[in-house]
Every structure is written in C-alpha cells, then in structure tokens.
Amino acid sequence: MNHRSAYRVPKSEVLKAALDLFSRKGYSDAKMADIARKVGMSVGALYLRFSNKEELFMELIRDQSKDFIEHTRSLPLHEPLNALKTYIAINIDHALHKRQILSIIYREYNLLSLKDLRHEFFKTQHGIIRDILRAGVKNKAFKAMDINDTASMIFASIRGTIMLKLIFGIGDAKSMGNSLFKLITNGIRKDAS
Amino acid sequence: MNHRSAYRVPKSEVLKAALDLFSRKGYSDAKMADIARKVGMSVGALYLRFSNKEELFMELIRDQSKDFIEHTRSLPLHEPLNALKTYIAINIDHALHKRQILSIIYREYNLLSLKDLRHEFFKTQHGIIRDILRAGVKNKAFKAMDINDTASMIFASIRGTIMLKLIFGIGDAKSMGNSLFKLITNGIRKDAS
DNA sequence: CGTTCATATGAACCATCGTTCAGCATATAG
DNA sequence: CTATATGCTGAACGATGGTTCATATGAACG
C-alpha cells in the first residue's frame, strides 16, 4: 500500500518560512515561489502540501492562533488588581512573542476569515477583562464604573500599546506593561474622583 | 500657447476615488483601471495626471495629511485637565472623520514613506501630550510621574481606541472619548495611590 | 477654416505570479 | 528485480494588471 508517506520538508517548516514572508511582505507580496525557495523545494512540492495560497495562509493563521487564548486562563480573580497586572503582562509578552502573526492579522483586514477571528478574539478578551473588573468592584478594590465601556477601553489601551511597539517600534515590553498598569489603575489626577 | 489647460476630471476627484478604493482594497488590490473607471475616464488619462501608481498613492497621502496636525494647536495649557479632554476628543473626532486614510496608513506598513510619516506623527503627538502632562504636574493638577512613559501610554490608548473603532468596528465616538478620559484621569482603583 | 496642441482613448505590451502537469526519481512490496 | 505508488521538479499556461503609445478629439487662435 503506502510505499512512502513522509514529505522531505514537513509542513511545519513550510509554515515557518511562510510566517516570515507574510509578515514582512504582506499577503499579496509574499510569493509562492519565495516560500518554496526559502525552504529549498520546488513550487510543485508546495502544492502537494497545500491546495493553494489562501489555504496555506489560513493554515498558518490557525497554527499560530492555537495557544492564543489558553494563556489567559486561571487568573487570580480573588485578587483583581493582581489579576489585571498579570493579564496585561501576559498580553504584552504574548504579543511580542507572536509579533509576526499579529502584524499580519492587523494588516490583512479585508480577508473575511480574519475579520471573524479578530471579532472572536475581542469578544473573548473583553469577557476576561469584564470578569476582572466585576470581581474588583464587588471586592471594593475598584470604584463603581460602566464595566462594559471600561473593559473596552482597557482592551483598546493594551492593543494600542502593542501596536506602538509593533508598528511604531517604540517602547520596551516590561516597562510598558508597568506604565500601562499604573495608568489604568491610578490615573494621572492628583485628587482622583 | 496654452490652448487648453484644465483636465476634464480634476486631480482632486481622482484622489477621492483613489481614497475609497485604496482604503477598501489595500494598495495592491486597488487597480489603476478601477480608479479610472470609478471617475469615468481612461487609464491613459490617469497617467497624464500621475506618473505612476506609487506617485498617485503618495499624493493622496500627502493631500489627506495636510490638516492632520493643525487641529491640535492652541490647547488651553493653563487648564491641563481640560486640554487633555479636548485633545482626546479632537483626536477621536479627527480619526473618525479621516478613517479611510487612517486605515490605509495603519495597514500599508511596508511602504517606506509611510514609515517616516507615522514616526513623524508619533513624535509630534507625543510632544503635545508631554506638554499637557508637564503643565498639569507643575499645576499640581496631576501627580508626579514619568512624563515620557505616560505620554507614550496615553498616545497608545488613544490610538488603540481609534483602532477598536476602525478595525473591530466597536464603540461610539463620543462615549468612547469620555470613557477614555475618565480612565486616564481617574483610573479604576478606589483608593488610588 | 485650417493649424496647433493639450487632452483623451484603449488596445497592446510586458512582467509577474498562481497554478498545473508531463516527466522523472526513489523507496517499498512482492 | 520489477512493479507501483509516492514524492519531486520546473517549464509552461493563463490571468492579471501596470505602463506605453499610436491615434483621435476638439478648443483656441490667426
């Protein structure tokens, strides 16, 4: 039956090369031939592994998104302040670790499937932040507030900080996390109301 | 000498069409033929106005960026809290007004010329925020703080909020501005330190 | 009117790139 | 060793799209 079964170059290696090219050049400007060349194989062999470019791309996204959510499980909700600090740190860490895939997801935003992915991501993260805020308000650690709006703003601030790093190339991961945490928790007013 | 001098379709109208197409499809997927068709002229006529696609694109960016900075002059620095509120409102307003060009600038970030533009923008805005913060600290309206870091975080929060609206399609301009202002000034802790 | 020339047209040119496929290589089974 | 299934190759194909150019149009001027 099966005479051979393994590809000379495994999918994972192709995806690695594709990640680099897509993130540096964008979807349209990353050529199938580039990807093939980068891993030292022919275009034809590429098409044995993936039926077309779009599928290769989506497989890459799927592969890289796998552990996207798992990181934020098991935050210490009984210590809301701590949970928030950890949440911010995890987010920034993770983003910088997966900066390549993120830069693609931010950019290629006419690809319909990415739109769904992003929305899904927002919903999940918004939920997590809401839980932290709700716990904090109950706890009297946080003031009364509009939890939905505040969660959106916190989400936006974190993503903005990541963008500052990714797109503008500005800032340092650790100190950025701290500054952001301080800003969100304490604000800048001397006599906060 | 000059028998005629006006184009049947003026540049401004071409740029308007180009803006729509570039922002909806991105640089690569917006075709010269599309742009020509949209304003009811031939491809050849397009090349009488612009020497090539790249130049058309850059002219569009330049045209749209003209009043980008002017909006933030003359903030009331003697009232730092007010200045900050106004600054945030202006930024969000302006971004939503120019959402099309912004979505391009965020996306096409391998175009070298855009990189410069973005950096320039950050520097200017960071400076403005710094001025507000410095005035506030002097004024004792704001706490002592690392002005540079805080300015970066405020910039990031505002851009993140705008991104939330532009990319994720989430939020409402006015209430977003208010929520963000509240978050930045007061923070979420009950007993802010 | 006839000449001139800025402006307009769109077919043709050319380069690029996703995709296919006929031919080749080789590992495994019998 | 032979047969065969599997994997590999890269030239060729077809579509696409930026750019050019031979040709046309018609306004202004004498």
Report the mean per-residue pLDDT for chain A.
91
Q: A31: which nucleotide lies closest, measuring CA to C1'?
A: C17
- Which nucleotide is nearest, taking the CA of residue B55 and each C1'? D18
| CB of B23 closer than 8 Å to CB of B101 | yes
**Whole-Å CA distances, A191 to A186, B80, B135, B156, B157:** 10, 14, 16, 24, 22
pLDDT at A82: 96
CB contact under 8 A, A183 and B186: no
Question: Is residue B9 predicted with pLDDT exceeding 70?
Answer: yes
Q: How many CA atoms lie within 13 A of B39 on its CB side?
A: 25
Angle subtended at Cα A98 by Cα A34 and Cα A178, rounded to the nearest 5 degrees: 150
Residue B132 in this model has a pLDDT that exceeds 60: yes
Residues in chain B closer than 8 A to A151 (CB atoms): none
Cα separation, A91 vs A125, whole angstroms: 10
Cross-chain residue pair B188–A133, CB shorter than 8 Å:
yes
B34, B53 Cβ separation under 8 angstroms: no
Structure-token pair, residue B16: 């308007």
Q: Under a CB-based contact definition with an 8 Å cutoff, are residues A62 and A117 in contact? A: no
**Distance (Å) from CA B10 to C1' D15?**
32
Neighboring chain B residues of A24 at a CB cutoff of 8 Å: 110
- Containing H/E element for B175? helix B173-186
Cβ of A134 near strand C (under 7 Å)? The reply is no
What pLDDT score does A2 carry?
61
Q: How far is CA B159 from CA A60, B51, B54, B67, B155, in A?
A: 28, 34, 27, 18, 6
* pLDDT grade for B167, boundaries at 50, 70 and 90: confident
Query: Cα separation of B49 and A135, whole Å?
Result: 61
d(CA A156, CA B136): 24
Report helix angle B112-139 to B99-107, nearest 10: 110
The DSSP annotation for B114-146 comes to HHHHHHHHHHHHHHHHHHHHHHHHHHTSB----
User: What is the Cα–Cα distance from A167 to B24, expressed in whole angstroms?
Assistant: 20
Going by the DSSP 8-state scheme, the letter that residue A76 receives in this structure is: -
- Express each pLDDT in B23-60 by its tens digit: 999 999 999 999 999 999 999 999 999 999 999 999 99
Q: If you measure CA to CA, which chain A residue comes closest to B175?
A: A149
Average confidence (pLDDT) over B90-104: 91
Q: Report percent pLDDT > 70 for chain B.
A: 96
Q: List protein-proximal bases of chain D (any atom < 7 A from a CB).
A: 4-12, 17-22, 26-29
- Cβ neighbors of A52 (< 8 A, separation 6 or more) are none
What number of C-beta contacts closer than 8 Å exist between A and B? 165
Digit-coded pLDDT (tens) for A105-119: 888 877 777 888 889
User: Which DSSP category does A189 fall into?
Assistant: B
Nucleotides of C under 7 A from a protein CB: 4-12, 16-22, 26-29
Residues A105 and A118 sit within 8 Å (Cβ to Cβ): yes
Say how far B54 CA is from D28 C1', in Å. 35
Domains along chain B? Answer: 11-60 (1.10.10.60), 67-186 (1.10.357.10)
Phi-psi region of B134 (alpha: psi -120 to 50; beta: other; left: phi over 0): alpha
A4 Cβ contacts chain C strand, under 7 Å: yes
A42 touches strand D (CB under 7 A): yes
Q: Which amino acid is at A27?
A: Y
d(CA A185, CA A157): 12
The predicted model gives B50-71 an average pLDDT of 89
How far apart are the C-alpha atoms of B129 and B77, rounded to whole Å?
Answer: 10
* Residues 31-70 of B with CB within 7 A of strand D: 31-33, 43-44, 47, 51-54
| pLDDT value of residue B94 | 92
Residue nearest to nucleotide C28 (CA to C1'): A3
pLDDT digit string (tens) for B103-122?
A: 888 888 777 778 888 898 99
Name which of B114, B159, B157 is nearest A188 in CA terms. B157
Could you tell me which residues are beta bridge partners of residue A142?
B189
CB A9 within 8 A of CB B94: no
The CA distances from residue A42 to A9, A13, A25, A33, B101, in Å, are: 11, 14, 20, 8, 39
Q: How far is the CA of A59 from the C1' of D13 (A)?
A: 27
Q: What is the CA radius of gyration of chain A?
A: 21
Query: Are A85 and A180 in contact, with CB atoms under 8 Å apart?
Result: no
Q: Is the pLDDT of residue B20 over 70?
A: yes
Q: Which residue is nearest to nucleotide C30 (CA to C1')?
A: A1
Q: Answer whether any strand C atom is within 7 A of the Cβ of B28.
A: no
Name the residue with higher pLDDT: A71 or B92.
B92
Mean pLDDT to the nearest integer, B6-31:
94
Q: For residue B41, which phi and psi values (nearest 5 degrees)?
A: -140, 175
- pLDDT of res. B6: 85
CA distance from start to end of chain B: 75
Whether residue B1 is predicted with pLDDT greater than 50 in this model: the reply is no
Which residue positions in chain A have pLDDT lower than 70?
A: 1-4, 69, 193
Section B176-189 average pLDDT:
96
